[in-house]
Amino acid sequence: MTDRQIVRMRHEGARRRTLTVTEKRQLTPGMLSIRFSCHDWDGFASAGADDHLKIFVPGAPSEGGKPAMRDYTPRAFDVEKGEMSIDFALHDNPGPVTALAVSLTVGDTVEIGGPRGSVVIPDSYDWYWLIGDETAIPSITRRLNEWPGQKIDAYIAVTGSGEELSLAKGESHCIHWTHRPTSASANPAALVSLIEAQTLPEGDGYVWIAAEAAVTKALREAVLAKSHPQTQLKASGYWTWGLSDQTEKFG
């Protein structure tokens, strides 16, 4: 029998580090990619494609007694070169971290913390579905880069064809885009109807979902309605419409 154990790791070396901006690149009008240099990698580990860092905002008012910070995916990193890239989905109601990302210029520094842990999904499933909105694109990109040979279908909602990126890295990668306006980014309809129209592939698969919380919840239900096992699904609300710094885990 194939070993399909999900591995959970704690990273004891997780701590704050300083990154320096080396390049800012607009991948699309709505997706800003920032490359940072870092020369302090001691104890750094990121084993899961959906790991997250905390990005701290210097000088921002504290929130609930804690420094202002938000979760972002280390989309790519290279310890040898001392580089890390983080991609920021720009949106209409920017909070402290989106505002910080837009304001950064080459040479500026930011503080990050983590990742404090990783959840590593085995690469031995027959197929994978990766479903999400703009905030899921960095993790989906990392997963496609890491697994060029796996059978992966990604279902992604963006605001229009100008936001579509060239993500596939292998012949068995298929990217399915759907469009909805920013004002409907908490409306599950576009992604749910895309998922409802699909048939689960043959064999044993794993489904990963990350989007606005209400969208994630509806997508999780749509996938489970296809009799996909709950143990082979991870669904996270990466943000919540109308609320700052709000994430949710649906299991």
- Can the peptide bond before residue 115 be classed as cis, meaning omega within 30 degrees of 0? yes
Distance CA 52, CA 57 (A): 16
Binding flag, residue 98, ligand FAD (CB under 6 A): yes
Binding flag, residue 185, ligand FAD (CB under 6 A): yes
**Closest approach of ligand FAD to the CB of residue 100, in Å:** 8
User: Which of the 8 DSSP states describes residue 169?
Assistant: -
Residue 239: name the closest of 247, 231, 249 by CA.
247
**Closest approach of ligand FAD to the CB of residue 120, in Å:** 15
Q: What residues between 118 and 157 interact with ligand FAD by CB under 6 A?
A: 134-135, 138
Whether the Cβ atoms of residue 200 and residue 179 lie closer than 8 Å to each other: no
Q: Phi first, then psi: give them for residue 164, nearest 5 degrees.
A: -80, 135
Select the span of 22-30, 108-116, 190-198, 233-241 touching ligand FAD (CB under 6 A): 233-241
**Closest approach of ligand FAD to the CB of residue 12, in Å:** 20
Q: Which residues contact 4 (CB under 8 A, 6 or more apart)?
A: 122, 124, 125, 204
Q: What residues between 31 and 90 interact with ligand FAD by CB under 6 A?
A: 52, 70-73, 87-89
Binding flag, residue 188, ligand FAD (CB under 6 A): no
Whether the Cβ atoms of residue 75 and residue 142 lie closer than 8 Å to each other: yes
**Residues in touch with ligand FAD (CB under 6 A):** 52, 70-73, 87-89, 91, 93-98, 134-135, 138, 185, 238-245, 247
